[in-house]
Chain A
């Protein structure tokens, strides 16, 4: 493969790692936030500066240290990693702005710690995106788990403690208990852990071994929240909303999905999976998660919990799309990383806006809120359109390609799963919007007069909503990257 060696991927990771001492030592909160913006912008620029090379079909690699024969901590930027890196680094800038509005609006304690660990978590996220092999990915995956723990448990009360335990039990338990042995088995049989287009494992891998490895990886990377390893995600909603927004709709969960894509396409490989019909097994598990997740979301009254279950179901779209082993579905899945990210972060921001402005956490208490917070609820409407997959939002494209993929492989069942799930998505999002705007005057729980969230919260929300619409008109960048990734991986 033609690639260039450059230190830029490492710089992109280190930017936010190196900024933490500055954040921690800032006396003044304005200076601290300035540093955050500086780091976020710099990170975004470094990531974007690598884009032209990637678009030319090349990749950028950098080896940090060698560990043992066939094993090294090394980075490689390819199209797939680029999609994820662009999404998470651009959304970090927006979330930083939102964090300022939210944290100051609610006068949260320990804001310095919050911003420090946020920066650390972003380092780890970009690290996962740019990993060239399983062990590097595992390293950043673990780093992300531990860096997000103080964010999830930010409130430091009893509820946060219990949720934090659940979070670690699922995520660290999965990675040490399942992924680590699976990596050992891979290394023991192949002598390398590099991502290889078409699959690292030799085609003659036995069915039993393939099943074990697949299940270990699929459930071990518990951040992707495939049922029954999903319970940490709703629990993690005790976190402040910006954390839920960026980490639990974009970074953390997408890291899980990203790891699964890598494992399915570049470790296990198409050949082994289709030979033993294992891709159907993955599709089945993913479909169950999609449907059950959506159904549970219907019954949730707490705003953020409903979004959490929606995320669980949407993540499995990505898994399903990759596991169909079809070019169209793959494009859909990799675009869904980006499209869902913009849609879901908008929804979380809206939930946060409602909480900051009114202190309300439950959907049943939000009737008529559209008259009080019209901009927020309009953004919410756009975001939910994107998650449902309707034009004119970016979510339409990824879902369109996913559906095309299921038709291409003549799989009516999975086509039905996607369509039913879209209906369910509409069923749990649109009533919120309807009740917000069109509830009768006497049923409205709010008095008249517009009282929106602070500007620092509102502007990022609007930006993200506009982003969702923008992606409908200009999806080329992600589509193109997906196609390049597809060529490299060769499904």
Chain B
């Protein structure tokens, strides 16, 4: 049974989406429980896969028993397994937290929402687990299309934002497809491991370089790396909280994962750091992303919109970490991918609680919140400390690795960007805390959020603290083996 988990983890949510869809016609209240049980199953699957990978190394799985390179093969290493766990945990916590909000916001469309939810998870898990470059594209489209749908359910302006996202996202995905097409022409293969074996003899080929560049640009559009981020702020701001708190933590981070996969599994560290070596340029790009995101975040009046720019800034952290090209920075990059998913989830769950309690997501709206919702605010403040990078929250340690890696490689600009952005984060978060703490504190009595909203939020905070304290184990057993051995 255990060896079939890699197939089940994709097929179960895929098939369940049909059932959810049908039950949406029959009994709407069932949709939530079906999705919930599927996500619990997925958590079991992904942690069991992670356990297998840690204990016995890389898992090779052939879908339908077809031999690669003809059939689709899964090649699950530590990085895949880690991302699977992140996706399943985030989606489960979010599902529980948003139950009531979904009931209220989209009474009629609940069936559709949960169908899209399950499909999106299918797409994200599939992207993460697959070892086939074309299969990845297919699942990328599944995740994106459902994402467009989930965003479009939102407020009035969400439809337009979603359309904008759709244009940009489709262009990005097409770029990626084009790159894979180039690779297929020169190598005749779509299996990642296979391609990486064939490529070394073709390193001097211009087609390979073009393929690489196109793939990268496509992925940068999808992950909203500055200056290709234009679609993100509107799309996330106008979506309903229940959608955005699923998409914001996961979508961009999974795209960072795909970038790492393309960099190291399809192309090799040898190729990207020795043959074409665009590292310096891309790190500067990420530095500008960090600064741009931070400055734009400073100028926002809407808190949700502010967070979308923080995401833009954080993407800069990860891309920069990946392209510095040493082991320490890459550790930081992967670690930050996990952290950022958790912290963003925490922040967006907080926003979800606000919108569910009819609190405006502006600095005026949250006045008196420390008095009114002390627990929610407390959890949020711990999340904020992780964003700022205060030990022992996990945000500090990933930042520490990133800074250390940047210093080793001599990227002082990147170090400066990280430190300045931490300082700007202090300002950003304390503006929220100030607004909640100083004004209207004498007004209202305690009206705390409901338990099912609080528990996931506190789970997120607990995970952030635990990951922070146990980061040595995380790095030693999961992140370090996930990095190619060639990188020093």
Contacts and interface: CB of A to CB of B under 8 A. Distances in A.
B392 A139 contact: yes
Interface string B12-49: 00000000000000000000000000000000000000
A187 B400 CA distance: 11
15 contacts: A65-B469, A67-B397, A110-B441, A138-B391, A146-B390, A150-B437, A153-B437, A156-B441, A172-B423, A173-B423, A173-B426, A180-B419, A181-B415, A181-B419, A184-B415
A176 B470 contact: no
B437 A65 contact: no
A287 B345 CA distance: 50
A135 B470 CA distance: 15
Given A65-B470, A135-B391, A176 B419 contact: yes
Interface string A451-478: 0000000000000000000000000000
Q: Which of B391, B415, B434, B442 lies at the interface centre, i.e. has the most chain A CB atoms within 10 A of its CB?
A: B391
Given A68-B475, A150-B437, A181-B403, 17 more contacts: A65-B472, A67-B397, A67-B471, A73-B391, A73-B392, A142-B390, A153-B438, A160-B438, A168-B426, A172-B423, A173-B423, A176-B419, A177-B423, A180-B403, A180-B419, A181-B415, A188-B408
A480 interface: no
A176 B423 contact: yes
Contacts of A56: none
A157 B400 CA distance: 36
B391 A139 contact: yes
Interface in B400-423: 400, 403-404, 407-408, 415, 419, 422-423
A68 B438 contact: no
Contact of A161 (B390, B392, B423, B438): B438
A467 B169 CA distance: 71
Contacts of A256: none
A147 B392 CA distance: 14
A101 interface: no
Interface residues of B, number: 28
A184 B426 contact: no
A66 interface: yes
Contacts of A156: 437-438, 441
A176 B416 CA distance: 11
A188 B410 CA distance: 11
B320 interface: no
Contacts, number: 69
Contacts of B441: 110, 156
Nearest to B401: A68
Contact of B385 (A146, A164, A177, A180): A146
B137 interface: no
B203 to A, nearest CB: 33
B80 to A, nearest CB: 24
Nearest to B475: A68
A172 B385 contact: no
Given A65-B470, A168-B426, A177 B419 contact: yes
A384 to B, nearest CB: 35
A139 B390 CA distance: 7
B218 interface: no
B392 A176 contact: no
A298 to B, nearest CB: 34
Nearest to A67: B472
